[in-house]
A = this chain, B = another copy of it.
Amino acid sequence: MDNFRFYSPTEFIFGRDTQKETGKMTANYGGVKVLVVYGGQSAEKSGLVKQVTDSLDNNKISYCILKGVQPNPTDDRVYEGIGMALKEGVNFILAVGGGSVIDTAKAIALGAVYDGDFWDFFCGKGTPSAALPVGVVLTIPAAGSEASASSVITKINGLHKRSCRTNLIRPRFAIMNPELTMTLPWFQTACGITDMLCHIYERYFSNTPAQLVNAYSEAIMRDIMDQALTLKLDGNNYDARADIMWASTIAHNGLCGVGKREDWATHFLEHEVSALYNVVHGAGLACIAPAWLKFVAKRNPDMVWRFAVNVMSVDPSGLDTEHIIEEGINLLKDFYHDLGLTTSLTELVGKEPDIDALVESLHKNLGDMIGSYVPLSIDDCREIYQLAL
């Protein structure tokens, strides 16, 4: 096990009706004037926005609203939010939504207390030294942003999808009511599940010995897959919704990566796809992850074998390594298909994607090599995109 730091200071308020505690929690963490950030009309129609703002009113907290954040959130909304925060004298950012909304809120929190352009922190030009506090009412279990130190934003000019990572933007609190996720379209539930699984893959596939962390990571991955299939049959199963929601958080708060060198190549490969074709991140991962596994297993089979046996439950008796791995990857693809997702990039994008453009952007954003379980050259990445077609 390598040396590590683990810091997950977010206070989680989990369970039925917990959105009614939003005002109290915001006040606990010093919120006086709040910018409420959310996405589309679903949060209004469901009554959630009203419940949240009522709760702020009850705690005598004033607020202004930024709505209309889209999936694969873009810099324009961040600039708009920073402008509102400055104009209104906001001292707290409250995200009501999933990863896109939270990432937008985090970027606003950084930009609102910075003299320069917030994008400096996403393109490596600057290191943040302060941020407004952020709170979350989570509606989509997927990105894990409610517990993470990261924000991912796409710059519209050039379609650069880049991330910023700093403890300053870890949410102070996250309110998580699994009932709120019951009205999600199935496609969003499914894409969230692929995303949280991939947050564990990126840490699991590592060359660092990590018996304990691997064991609990496998247990979490198996449970996500099991409860995903339960939800496919019964989307209102509270305990399955609750497991999926809590799993999304611990998949990405660092717990599954302690003491390990992480990889993240699958995410990097996918970010180019969703930036260029505006597909849903989780849907892109369902195409990239099996292709990445197939590619890396040739050079470094050990953890892929272990994944096949311990997570996908391939019975290894009588099979050689190659067939165990092949069977494990096929079962993973079957799982994605059971969720109703494609594992073909061509099908996802609606045409054969422009691999040259994907590879060129990847190279521009991340240099010559990506990943660590198997370090990938740009030509390797090209081959993975081809395997994913």
Contact = CB atoms under 8 A, between A and B. Distances in A.
Contact of A239 (B4, B11, B209, B258): B209
Contact of A6 (B6, B14, B212, B218): B14
A4 B15 CA distance: 6
A11 B7 contact: yes
Identical chains bound together, number: 2
A95 B219 CA distance: 34
Contacts of A15: 1-4, 259
Contacts of A386: none
A264 to B, nearest CB: 21
B215 A220 contact: yes
A227 B212 contact: yes
Contacts of A242: 1, 259
Given A239-B209, A246-B212, A14 B9 contact: no
B212 A14 contact: no
A277 interface: no
B14 A3 contact: yes
A6 B18 CA distance: 13
A226 interface: yes
Contact of A220 (B12, B216, B223, B246): B216
Given A243-B212, A246-B212, A14 B259 contact: yes
Contacts of A163: none
A8 interface: yes
Contacts of A6: 11-12, 14
A278 to B, nearest CB: 32
B1 A18 contact: no
A222 interface: yes
Interface in A1-53: 1-9, 11-16, 18
A250 B217 CA distance: 13
A322 to B, nearest CB: 28
Contacts of A9: 8-9, 11
Contacts of A12: 4-7
A302 to B, nearest CB: 16
A246 B6 CA distance: 11
Contacts of A243: 1, 211-212
A5 B1 contact: no
A15 to B, nearest CB: 3
A339 interface: no
A247 interface: yes
A4 to B, nearest CB: 5
A12 B4 CA distance: 8
Interface string A243-259: 10011001000010011
9 contacts: A1-B242, A3-B14, A4-B14, A6-B14, A8-B8, A9-B9, A212-B247, A242-B259, A250-B255
Interchain residue pairs A-B with the least CB separation, the first 3: A3-B15, A9-B9, A212-B243
Interface of A: 1-9, 11-16, 18, 178, 209, 211-213, 215-216, 218-220, 222-223, 226-227, 238-239, 242-243, 246-247, 250, 255, 258-259
Given A211-B243, A212-B220, A255-B255, 5 more contacts: A9-B9, A209-B239, A211-B227, A215-B219, A246-B259
